[in-house]
């Protein structure tokens, strides 16, 4: 099974630039084209939040138009730049049945890997939270199929990464979330967005990772007093490949085209 994770699209009204500099809509279109040109089509695309930049209905209509180019199922949850009610109104055709409550959690069971997505949005705030009801919902869903390999996805990472301004807006009270994950060893990965960088760590007996954005990236600045800034490093997304023999193996895919591929040619033996 091949799972494509796109994150942090930040789509705007047509003709606008994110932060006055980033042509997000054009970059999202390029990312979707890159997905369509993969030599193996993903079975499903998971979008881990910040589909829009300001949560406006016009932005969601633009997102819908872009994502509908993908022929495979597309699963979405909101990020801090999104607005739940407007997302439901604008992206209705992409939502699963029942994904319309106070939190837009979802379970997708139709694949070899079970996919559970969590809505961590706190309206008006940049950080994320999972309330007691959400944690109970997650615990119950994971208990339903303890033998199924499972991917849990969310917008806000539940761990500290060392980039101070990002750690301040990560998932709050991640210990309660970690306790739930640790009870369910079938969880092969917790995948996140929000931080606009590829980041990986051990977490609650499994692996947690952040995928890079398909538009701009956060500056890699590990000094405690480093300012919050972004850089126009290459946009990218991640492919999570699962087989019974390997479990989940992740590849980061650059959206841009580069020279090659070239064959590996045997050169002269330097020992001769």
Query: How many distinct structural domains can be found in the chain?
Result: 1
In the predicted structure, residue 272 carries a pLDDT above the cut 70:
no
Instruction: Report yes or no on 204 lying in a domain.
Output: yes
Domain range enclosing 213: 2-254
Work out the percent of the chain whose per-residue pLDDT is above 70.
99
Instruction: Report yes or no on 262 lying in a domain.
Output: no
In the predicted structure, residue 271 carries a pLDDT above the cut 80:
no
pLDDT class for 270, splitting at 50, 70, 90? Answer: low
In the predicted structure, residue 267 carries a pLDDT above the cut 80:
no
Instruction: Give bridge partners of residue 201 from the DSSP assignment.
Output: 208
Instruction: Give the pTM.
Output: 0.95
Instruction: Report yes or no on 260 lying in a domain.
Output: no
Q: What's the CATH number where 183 sits?
A: 3.60.21.10
HEC states along the chain?
A: CEEEEECCCCECCCCCCECCCECHHHHHHHHHHHHHCCCCCCCEEEEECCCECCCCHHHHHHHHHHHCCCCCCEEEECCCCCCHHHHHHHCHHHCCCCCCCCCCCEEECCCCCEEEECCCECCCCCCECCCHHHHHHHHHHHHHCCCCCEEEECCCCCCCCCCHHHHCCCECCHHHHHHHHHCCCCEEEEEECCCCCCEEEEECCEEEEECCCCCCEECCCCCCCCCCCEECCCCEEEEEEEECCCEEEEEEEECCCCCCCCCCCCCCCCCC
Mean pLDDT of the chain: 96
């Amino acid at each position: 099974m091949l799972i494509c994770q796109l994150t942090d699209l930040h789509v705007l009204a047509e003709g606008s630039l994110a932060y006055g500099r980033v042509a997000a809509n054009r970059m999202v279109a390029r990312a979707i084209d890159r997905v369509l040109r993969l030599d193996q089509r993903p079975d499903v695309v998971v979008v881990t939040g910040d589909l829009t930049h300001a949560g406006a209905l016009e932005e969601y209509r633009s997102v819908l138009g872009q994502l509908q180019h993908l022929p495979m199922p597309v699963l979405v949850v909101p990020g801090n730049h999104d607005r739940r009610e407007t997302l439901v109104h604008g992206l209705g055709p992409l939502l699963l049945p029942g994904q319309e409550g106070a939190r837009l959690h979802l379970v997708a069971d139709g694949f070899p890997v079970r996919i559970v997505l969590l809505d961590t949005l706190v309206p008006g705030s940049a950080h994320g939270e999972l309330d007691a009801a959400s944690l109970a919902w997650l615990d119950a869903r994971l208990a339903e199929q303890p033998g199924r390999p499972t991917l849990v996805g969310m917008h806000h990472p539940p761990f500290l990464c060392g980039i101070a301004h990002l750690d301040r807006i990560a998932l709050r009270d991640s210990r309660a979330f970690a306790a739930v994950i640790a009870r369910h060893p079938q969880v092969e990965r917790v995948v996140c967005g929000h931080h606009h960088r590829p980041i990986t760590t051990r977490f609650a007996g499994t692996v947690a990772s952040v995928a890079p954005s398909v538009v701009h990236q956060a500056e890699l600045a590990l000094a405690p007093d480093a300012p919050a800034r972004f850089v126009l490093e290459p946009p990218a997304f991640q492919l999570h490949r699962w087989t019974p023999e390997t479990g989940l193996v992740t590849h980061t895919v650059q959206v841009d085209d580069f020279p090659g591929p070239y064959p590996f040619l045997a050169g002269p033996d330097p020992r001769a």
